Amino acid sequence: AQSVTQPDIHITVSEGASLELRCNYSYGATPYLFWYVQSPGQGLQLLLKYFSGDTLVQGIKGFEAEFKRSQSSFNLRKPSVHWSDAAEYFCAVGGSISNFGNEKLTFGTGTRLTIIP
């Protein structure tokens, strides 16, 4: 069964500092990997996705993530965070095929990001 682990429940970063959010996955084949952001009171917005090809993917809002097969990781990074980046971030893995071909997304438990001035 596929699974996602986000080991950091809460991270605090100073505005302007760099950011890395960790994500480890378990999946039997090449996974489809996603990062979503949830701002307070909002739904989830897709930041970036990895299907195949270049292991460094660029997303919206200046985020990027790197797929490392050997480490089963898909960490999210940003060189310089802004106060508006304060939100909850979810890593997700897809690709599980049920009898009906459901490409179900399995989400991690999320990492809450706090930005301090």
Name the minimum Å distance from CB 3 to other proteins. Answer: 11
CA–CA separation, 117 vs 15, rounded Å? 5
Helix (H) or strand (E) holding 86: none
**DSSP classification of residue 110:** -
Cβ proximity to other proteins, 33 vs 81, nearer residue = 33
Binder to other proteins among 18, 30, 104, 116 (CB under 8 A)? 104
Instruction: Using DSSP, state whether 70 is helix, strand or coil.
Output: helix
Residue among 8 and 15 whose Cβ is closer to other proteins: 8
| Closer CB to other proteins, 65 or 110, in the complex | 110
Nearer to other proteins, 18 or 103 (CB): 103
Cα–Cα distance measured from residue 75 to residue 66, given in angstroms and rounded to the nearest whole number: 6
Comparing CA positions, the residue from 88, 99, 71 lying closest to residue 21 is 88
Cβ 47 to other proteins shortest distance, Å: 11
Answer yes or no whether residue 94 interacts with other proteins by CB under 8 A: yes
Question: Considering only residues 32-71, where is the footprint of other proteins by CB under 8 A?
Answer: 32, 34, 36, 42-46, 49, 51
Longest dimension (CA), the chain: 50
Coil, strand or helix: which one is 66? strand
For other proteins, the binding residues (CB under 8 A) are 4, 9, 32, 34, 36, 42-46, 49, 51, 90, 94, 98, 100-105, 107-110
